[in-house]
Structure 1
Amino acid sequence: MTDPTHADPPPPADPATAPHHGAPVAPVPRPAPRPLGEVRRWPRSFAGRLTAPLPGVRAFARLAREGAAAVRPGADGLRDVPKLPFAPGPLPPADPDTLAVTWAGHASWIVRVGGLTVLTDPVWSRRILGTPARVTPVGVRWEDVPPVDAVVISHNHYDHVDAPTLRRLPRSTPVFVPAGLGRWFRHRRFSTVTELDWWEGAELHGVRFDFVPAHHWSKRGLTDTCRTLWGGWVLTDRRDRSVYFAGDTGYGHWFRRIADRHPGIDLALLPIGAYAPRWWLGDVHTDPEEAVRAFRDLGARAMAPMHWATFVLSSEPVMEPLTRLLAAWEAAGLPRERLWDLAVGESRVL
Structure 2
Amino acid sequence: MEHFELLDIVRRPLSPDSRLEVPASREEYERVEEILEREEAKYPQLWYDGMRSVAIVVAPPTPLHAGMASGLLSVISDEVKMNSGISSEIARGLRIESDSRTTMNNTTRASDGALLYWEGDRATLMIAVEVAVSQSNDSMRAAISWSVCALHCSLGLAMCIREESRGRRPPRRHYASLDEANAAVDEARDDFYHQLVQNPYGPLERDGVTWFGRVRLVVLETFRRQDEHCTPETLLQPSKSFTLVENGEYIAQNISPNLQEVVLGDCIPTHLLNNQHMEATPVNFFQREWFETLFRGSIVRTAILRVWENTSYVQSVA
The TM-score range, normalised by the shorter chain, is under 0.3
The structure richer in strand per residue is 2
Q: Which has the higher contact order (CA 8 A, sep 6+)?
A: 1
Please identify which structure carries the higher helix content: 2
Greater gyration radius: 2
Normalising by the residue count of structure 2, what TM-score does the alignment of the two structures yield?
Answer: 0.24
Report the TM-score when normalising by structure 1.
Answer: 0.23
